[in-house]
Structure 1
């Protein structure tokens, strides 16, 4: 029996996406009307598995919560101020933001073309030269996962340190111990894991509140510190002279001042590393090809501007950088606040920062779980069949959430190695994220040519120049992020930069795994509508192939466009 198929449908060749599907085919069910998001995702090779309950604002809220300017700045003040002083915090931030905003813009362009939770990993596989896609995806995926999985523990470590520092301010006899920091951080991890296991709609509401709180807290702190500073009671001017703030480079490292400025960028890079979250939430966002890239670009731009204002406030009011870095409080931001504010104001600012840090850790947990799910869906991890399961009650990847929590709790054992060892979590997050962010951008700029199909949000003629700036910035910064703060006889096991070991070690093992085994079975993104490609093994489902058509003969449940497609369907 034969009948006419429904009216015109699109093929993937007419979707504004860059896909892994050769001559891609969109799966077509005559009983279901495809919306634009579902059609785009199908063109990329995936079936919808999440409810699209995020929009531009809620997606921005999650990414801004992950960015967490106030707690991020507080947690990384040791690097931003400690390596280059106020000069690194003022004009150094502006220089770093040129490179960071270039990375964000190039990433947003990729997201618009490939709005899937696999994100950067999917992009690397699609854009790499023939035969190199699986390796590019393998490196990008594992590096991105390492950056994501260190996000929540490093944030919660900073939050725990601030909580205990506040306790020390109230009770000077209390001196925080490493085991107390560890246990409090693990407690925060477990709370966040429970919250990240909730349904998407609930998560969106919580993160909307958290992001709003982050913005309000940041504005309050920006106003409160200059207004309430008591520097004048210590016979100091209300604010430090601009010439000193912008011109003096604090010798916080054994390297020349210029290198010290570059080393201070670790604080900027880590603080600004949350803008990739909308990419990983694209499958839960409506109008993802436009809303998600906008959220990426806005997160970086808004974060960069407000972050710079915060840097200026601290740079113009700090009294003694060495005292802030070496305080018994164990938290430079808390020590800085004690220098410039009355105790009640100190506790108020710390309370705002701690609450903002709590929501930031929650946002990091959500973003990391989506990355883990996306990679497990493509069988990247051992026991991927467990981690890629979507909970049937919450419709969220609960197993992936708890896998990340377990890994993070093990990673937090670095706390017992001292501040420098624990600080490796921040360096790892920065370098791992940057390698993952820029690998597909680098491939796009230097190897793709005309194979890249821009999505509705794109940079136009600026695409290549912006990508070049982004790639050059990361190539410069990767070795800088591995430099120790001291050299010569001062360089010991306790003072070395452990980033090259803690990040490089696992990545070397991942590459060995690739050579020994993974190259034989890992082929990149494992699309879950592949059975509908090229009209083979359709099992009763309908597939639309080839160019746009007005109608087609339907025979035994398969939509056929032309004779060649019919032969493929019978094969």
Structure 2
């Protein structure tokens, strides 16, 4: 039994998934899901109209700084508890015994639906980029229905690769790392080098724009800077940066497939956030300095400012070639988002939060095939509101951001409150752990409020920010289900220990009278460990 398998056994699980990922692969999956080109390109229009260049630049710096606190807190916990369940499992371990199952349940559902929203946001954004690229010559007219159809094809392609290509995923991961680093670096440098003119530093770093108003009459639109204040617009405008630097829990979800997970997985979390922050800032500056005409870019007939910048610099044929690189890169981002999503769902089913039908791992392919397609199906369903709402995509990005960050911060906050019970791993923050966890918690509380605010004025059915409604439904659903039935049926993570390996139990020092055993048809025992924390 390897060191990783021993650690997994100490957490109560047998090795079922194929373990063959190294540090670079673990870093790569989070780096690919963060995918700065995905977040920046799909929300560039939002950034230009909600605060403009100054808010985009300063917001990126501020968001990167505070997100690193979240990443540090997550990395410390990942090192101590490297398992596919990630945040919801951590909450179960870190919470007091009496409330362990409750916090695990709440964390799990926010992470579950946040991951679905991220997968939808990434791949639906890619479908939009493909539609816009196809319309560059004016021979194709994008519609909501066509975009959803493209999105369906992309989701299916990701599902097929995740199902049948598990052995090539590490290699595709390496390709993705190259695309997101060397490819995007070349993309950014090429834009700046080829641009006929460049914007001034004053434009990039000080220009504030408020195009958040919409007028349905001949009257001039009134934006939020006028109705509320420029500060309001600036705060709402950081969504682009915060949505981009999201999804780095993938390194934790892949820890059961990572070699030397106690060290590699936390480093994967930290390096993916750090490198993405630097690459994203560089890409953002290159795009902003290369804008040829601001009004033309914002009001582009193409409907996509990044594509308009490419057309202004490279012409229509050149823009298509550049967009091809971008599309291939974002495709990899969506691919690994589905990978991470499926692993979380598999772990959630393994622990009894959703139907055990989804806890099955294919013996032939060594992947959780059923949760791969469950994740794909739910992500597709989330795209359907876009057929009737122009703000559905922005809502999906907000749901993804809030849902995931709430699931990130619950275990971090629990580690702050119950720090004496937290048994740290090889990577730990020492005496700074509680300070860093507190700062991270306050930041997530702040963005959770901000991203529920309306971004467009006036507010009506077409411009309403549906994020608080969606997040409220998640919260209400999790609470109602908990008190209705889950508090009786869900007792926290169930550890699966092979019957033929009783030494695993002895090695953990678990006494028989402190276990709840449930005979499973697979020849295993599901073991409910009594939480070590005191109330």
TM-score with structure 2 setting the length: 0.89
Match of 1:251 in 2: 210
How far apart in 2 are the matches of 1:257 and 1:321? 20
1:367 shift after superposition = 0.5
CA deviations on 1:254-286 (whole Å, 9 max, x unpaired) are: 142222222122111111112111100000001
1:144 shift after superposition = 0.6
Match of 1:226 in 2: 192
How far apart in 2 are the matches of 1:430 and 1:540? 42
Match of 1:397 in 2: 368
Q: Which runs of 5+ in 1 are unaligned?
A: 1-33, 231-237, 533-537, 548-571
How far apart in 2 are the matches of 1:377 and 1:540? 20
8 A contact 2:188–2:287 mirrored in 1: no
How far apart in 1 are the matches of 2:426 and 2:334? 32
How far apart in 1 are the matches of 2:387 and 2:352? 34
**Structure 1 residues 528 and 429: CA distance shift in structure 2, 3 A:** same
Note if 1:135 corresponds to 2:102.
yes
Match of 2:465 in 1: 497
CA deviations on 1:400-439 (whole Å, 9 max, x unpaired) are: 0011111122111122023312321111111111111111
Match of 1:297 in 2: 270
1:246 shift after superposition = 1.2
Match of 2:92 among 111, 125, 137: 125
How far apart in 2 are the matches of 1:455 and 1:324? 49
Match of 1:179 among 126, 136, 145: 145
- Give the stretch that moved more between structures: 392-401 or 90-99: 90-99
Match of 2:236 among 254, 260, 263: 263
8 A contact 2:50–2:209 mirrored in 1: yes
Match of 1:197 among 157, 163, 167: 163
8 A contact 1:72–1:271 mirrored in 2: yes
Match of 1:242 in 2: 201
Match of 1:367 in 2: 340
1:51 shift after superposition = 2.0
Match of 1:526 in 2: 494
Match of 1:5 in 2: none
1:114 shift after superposition = 0.3
CA deviations on 1:163-206 (whole Å, 9 max, x unpaired) are: 12111112x24321111101010000001001111353321112
8 A contact 1:61–1:212 mirrored in 2: no
- Give the stretch that moved more between structures: 348-357 or 181-190: 348-357
**Structure 1 residues 256 and 264: CA distance shift in structure 2, 3 A:** same
How far apart in 2 are the matches of 1:540 and 1:342? 68
How far apart in 2 are the matches of 1:370 and 1:54? 14
The equivalences for 1:96-175 within 5 A come to 96-170=63-137, 172-175=138-141
How far apart in 2 are the matches of 1:91 and 1:474? 18
CA deviations on 1:12-59 (whole Å, 9 max, x unpaired) are: xxxxxxxxxxxxxxxxxxxxxx22111111111111111211010111
- Give the stretch that moved more between structures: 71-80 or 332-341: 332-341
**Structure 1 residues 323 and 140: CA distance shift in structure 2, 3 A:** farther
1:503 shift after superposition = 2.9
Note if 1:452 corresponds to 2:427.
no
**Structure 1 residues 542 and 217: CA distance shift in structure 2, 3 A:** closer
8 A contact 2:10–2:504 mirrored in 1: no
CA deviations on 1:423-477 (whole Å, 9 max, x unpaired) are: 21111111111111111111111x1131111110112222122112111111111
How far apart in 1 are the matches of 2:285 and 2:397? 22
8 A contact 1:167–1:174 mirrored in 2: yes
Match of 2:527 in 1: none
**How much is the aligned-residue C-alpha RMSD, in angstroms?**
1.9
TM-score with structure 1 setting the length: 0.83
Note if 1:515 corresponds to 2:488.
no
CA deviations on 1:526-562 (whole Å, 9 max, x unpaired) are: 1113x88xxxxx8866643578xxxxxxxxxxxxxxx
1:320 shift after superposition = 4.6
Match of 1:483 among 437, 448, 453: 453
1:99 shift after superposition = 1.0
CA deviations on 1:283-328 (whole Å, 9 max, x unpaired) are: 0001000000001100000000010111111222224555434433
User: How many pairs were matched up?
Assistant: 495
CA deviations on 1:476-511 (whole Å, 9 max, x unpaired) are: 110100111234xx2101011111122322331221
Match of 1:441 in 2: 412
Q: State the SS of the aligned residue for 2:485.
A: helix
How far apart in 2 are the matches of 1:342 and 1:516? 60
- Give the stretch that moved more between structures: 172-181 or 290-299: 172-181
Match of 1:92 in 2: 59
**Structure 1 residues 66 and 540: CA distance shift in structure 2, 3 A:** closer
Match of 1:55 in 2: 22
Match of 1:414 in 2: 385
**Structure 1 residues 184 and 92: CA distance shift in structure 2, 3 A:** same
8 A contact 1:269–1:430 mirrored in 2: yes
How far apart in 2 are the matches of 1:86 and 1:546? 55
8 A contact 1:228–1:345 mirrored in 2: no
Match of 1:428 in 2: 399
How far apart in 2 are the matches of 1:352 and 1:325? 23
- Give the stretch that moved more between structures: 296-305 or 398-407: 398-407
CA deviations on 1:311-362 (whole Å, 9 max, x unpaired) are: 1112222245554344332333223333444333322221111010111110
**Structure 1 residues 257 and 320: CA distance shift in structure 2, 3 A:** farther
Q: Which runs of 5+ in 2 are unaligned?
A: 213-223, 510-535
How far apart in 2 are the matches of 1:398 and 1:38? 22
Match of 2:438 in 1: 468
How far apart in 2 are the matches of 1:126 and 1:44? 10
8 A contact 2:158–2:338 mirrored in 1: yes
How far apart in 1 are the matches of 2:356 and 2:477? 22
